[in-house]
Amino acid sequence: MTYNFDEYIERRQTNSMKWDMFRDPAYTIPMPVADMDFRVAPPIHQRLLSIAQHGVYGYAVLPQELPTVVCSMLLEKYNWAIDPDWLVWMPGMVVGLSNAAALWANSEKGILTVAPIYPPFYKAIAYAGKNLQTTALLLVNGRYTLNFEEIERSFGKNIGFFMLCNPQNPGGTVFTKIELNRLAALCVQYNVTLLSDEIHCELLLDPKAIHIPIASLNNEIMQNTITMMSPSKTYNIAGLGCTFAIIPNATLRAQFVKKAEGNWPMISRMAFEAALVAYTQCDQWKTDLLHYLKGNHALVLEKVNSLPGLNMQPLQATYLAWVNAQLQPQLYENLLENGLRLNQGAYYLQPGFLRLNFACPRATLTEGLSRLETTVLNNLA
């Protein structure tokens, strides 16, 4: 390991959403909000320092080399050859989700998504003025997957747009080629446009999991899909805001771009250049990060599954454990009293579950897990 992820970096009173928003007592360890308590890779840090030293924060344009870098990255990692003209740069993925859903606002057709899922998916559908229609994740042999029969039934009832998250947040699944082919075939058969949020695609924990951008499977699904990716989660630059959509279909891309007009702020120089450096100079950092996260994941998995009334499935990707605490109904509140803040499952439409972000130094995680254990055991006493 070249990089040290054990270093504790104080984030309180840095206007951090994770550490400061909830106004918790100083003792509380926060493990909600999907960012990491690690400093960025040194090349990103250096680039941002040099921009700060320059001291001018005017409007920025897309760095000329960034589209080429993204195209090479997609080719190298996923064997997906794209045209740089298919890229649409966005200041964040959540605005992209809402923008895409808004394309269906005046359509007679509905929008379907998965439950549980990252809550802005639900909001995007609500902002588009559509009823929320969901298909539940199925737990099959210790892994969450899609209910294809249910999806097909829904598609048959006037669905125009399906919103997928792959790797799945919060289920942790990396969908296989077989699953993706099946979903792609359904989308094509029922003429359903697909949104594939692939923000977690580089955070693979399971050595057997391979991320496949669904749009890369064949030309038909490619023409029907809006793929979204970003270096923000993997390289811990989410607060900067540089994301891209890949929309090969020119008509769909034009609609998407038009819908966004006047709605999005410009992307900053810091965000663009951090993305550029992330994709070109941070491979070793990422390798070490994944090694560290795998260690944290093993600790969480073992502890959670050793506690009475709790269980979780191993994650294939992400640093977000999805803990079934349905047998411990007051656990969220009790954990807060004992100084551990997690995310509540109800927020993801799965009450009784808790989401635990383990992207933190091991000492912090160990203390958090110890508070989890004490609270669970006290509840039973």
CB 322 within 8 A of CB 285: no
The β-bridge relationship of strands 225-229 and 193-197 is parallel
Distances (CA, A) of 194 to 20, 190, 222: 36, 11, 9
Site for ligand PLP in 197-226 (CB under 6 A): 197, 199
Question: Counting contacts by CB under 6 A, is residue 301 touching ligand PLP?
Answer: no
CB 361 within 8 A of CB 319: no
Q: Which stretch binds ligand PLP (CB under 6 A): 6-14, 46-54, 86-94, 346-354?
A: 86-94
Q: Measured on CA atoms in the order 268, 270, 271, 272, is the torsion positive or negative?
A: positive
Site for ligand PLP in 249-288 (CB under 6 A): none
Question: Counting contacts by CB under 6 A, is residue 230 touching ligand PLP?
Answer: yes
Nearer to ligand PLP, 205 or 307 (CB): 205
Q: Which stretch binds ligand PLP (CB under 6 A): 67-75, 89-97, 146-154, 248-256?
A: 89-97
Question: Counting contacts by CB under 6 A, is residue 124 touching ligand PLP?
Answer: no
Minimum separation from the CB atom of position 94 to ligand PLP (A):
4
CB 38 within 8 A of CB 45: no
Nearer to ligand PLP, 35 or 372 (CB): 35
x/- mask, ligand PLP, residues 93-112, rule CB under 6 A, reads xx------------------
Choice from 30, 32, 67, 92 touching ligand PLP (CB under 6 A): 92
Question: Counting contacts by CB under 6 A, is residue 169 touching ligand PLP?
Answer: yes
Question: Counting contacts by CB under 6 A, is residue 34 touching ligand PLP?
Answer: yes
Distances (CA, A) of 182 to 179, 214, 217, 225, 376: 5, 10, 11, 15, 41
The residue type at 212: I
Site for ligand PLP in 178-197 (CB under 6 A): 197
In terms of C-beta density within 10 A (0-12 exposed, 13-18 middle, 19 or more buried), how is residue 121 classed? buried
Nearer to ligand PLP, 165 or 212 (CB): 165
Strand partners, 42: none
DSSP string for residues in 76-114: HHH-----GGGEEEES-HHHHHHHHHHTTTT-SSEEEEE
CB 323 within 8 A of CB 355: yes
Question: Counting contacts by CB under 6 A, is residue 232 touching ligand PLP?
Answer: yes
Distances (CA, A) of 350 to 239, 241, 301: 27, 28, 20
Minimum separation from the CB atom of position 315 to ligand PLP (A):
13
Nearer to ligand PLP, 319 or 332 (CB): 319
Q: Which stretch binds ligand PLP (CB under 6 A): 87-95, 138-146, 279-287, 326-334?
A: 87-95
Question: Counting contacts by CB under 6 A, is residue 165 touching ligand PLP?
Answer: yes
Distances (CA, A) of 367 to 59, 208, 241, 324, 381: 43, 30, 31, 20, 21
Minimum separation from the CB atom of position 165 to ligand PLP (A):
5
Site size for ligand PLP (CB under 6 A): 13
CA-based nearest residue to 232, from 1, 40, 85: 40
Nearer to ligand PLP, 40 or 165 (CB): 165
Provide the binding-site residues for ligand PLP, judged by CB under 6 A: 34, 92-94, 118, 165, 169, 197, 199, 230, 232, 238, 243
